[in-house]
């Protein structure tokens, strides 16, 4: 009888607590490191939907590129810029020009749950024509999401807007 009771207790403990569930306790913060590989999906009401694969590296929040100078609110910023070889960016889907760069700024990296981010994405061709999109969003647990719109100084994408969501790979 004692052996049967002991087996039941062991089975109960294994069944209830033997898993590897990662949970936060009250007061424990959840953070997401923005440096790393991300898959970012953009959606647009005009059908310019795309998926970006980016490798983000630590960066200044103001960068000069062959396209132009870009600045986002920081002080912690990450970048994928094929023009300078900092990080990398590629994509599939509908673009105006080939993807060239992503710059994201936030208060700290790793970023806390629900931290605000500033998002900037640029496309350009070899002739110097460019489309620049900017947006704002938030950080989740290994995710980012938000809204974007065409930069008013990029007439090629005037009126374009949509949403983005990304997942840390």
What are the pLDDT digits (tens) for 23-32? 445 555 789 9
pLDDT digits (tens, 9 = 90+) for 141-169: 999 999 999 999 899 999 999 999 999 99
Give the model's confidence band at 38: pLDDT under 50 very low, under 70 low, under 90 confident, else very high: very high
Beta strand pairing status for 161-168 and 88-93?
Answer: unpaired
Query: Has residue 22 got a pLDDT over 50?
Result: no
Where is pLDDT greater, at 6 or 82?
Answer: 82
Query: Has residue 11 got a pLDDT over 50?
Result: no
Lowest mean pLDDT among 18-22, 33-37, 53-57, 84-88: 18-22
Read off the pTM.
0.81
Structure tokens at 69: 């100078």
Query: Has residue 7 got a pLDDT over 70?
Result: no
Query: Has residue 136 got a pLDDT over 60?
Result: yes
Phi, psi of 9 (to 5 degrees): -65, -45
Query: Has residue 18 got a pLDDT over 70?
Result: no
Backbone dihedral region for residue 27 (phi beyond 0: left; psi -120 to 50: alpha; all else: beta): left
User: What is the DSSP secondary-structure string of 84-108?
Assistant: TTBSEEEEEE--SS-EEEEEEEESS
Residue 28: per-residue pLDDT: 59
Residue 27: per-residue pLDDT: 56
- Which stretches of 2-106 are DSSP H helices? 2-17
């Amino acid at each position: 009888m004692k052996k049967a009771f002991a087996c039941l207790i062991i089975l109960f403990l294994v069944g209830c607590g033997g898993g590897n569930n990662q949970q936060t306790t009250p007061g424990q913060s959840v953070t997401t490191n923005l440096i790393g590989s991300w898959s970012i999906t953009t959606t647009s009401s005009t059908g310019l939907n795309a998926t970006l694969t980016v490798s983000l590296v630590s960066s200044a929040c103001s960068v000069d590129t062959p396209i132009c100078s870009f600045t986002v609110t920081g002080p912690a910023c990450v970048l994928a810029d094929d023009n300078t070889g900092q990080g990398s960016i590629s994509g599939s889907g509908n673009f105006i020009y080939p993807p060239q760069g992503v710059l994201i700024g936030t208060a700290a990296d790793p970023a806390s749950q629900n931290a605000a981010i500033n998002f900037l994405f640029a496309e350009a061709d070899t002739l110097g024509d460019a489309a620049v999109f900017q947006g704002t969003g938030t950080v989740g647990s290994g995710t980012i999401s938000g809204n974007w719109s065409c930069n008013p100084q990029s007439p090629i994408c005037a009126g374009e807007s949509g949403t983005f969501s990304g997942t840390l790979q």
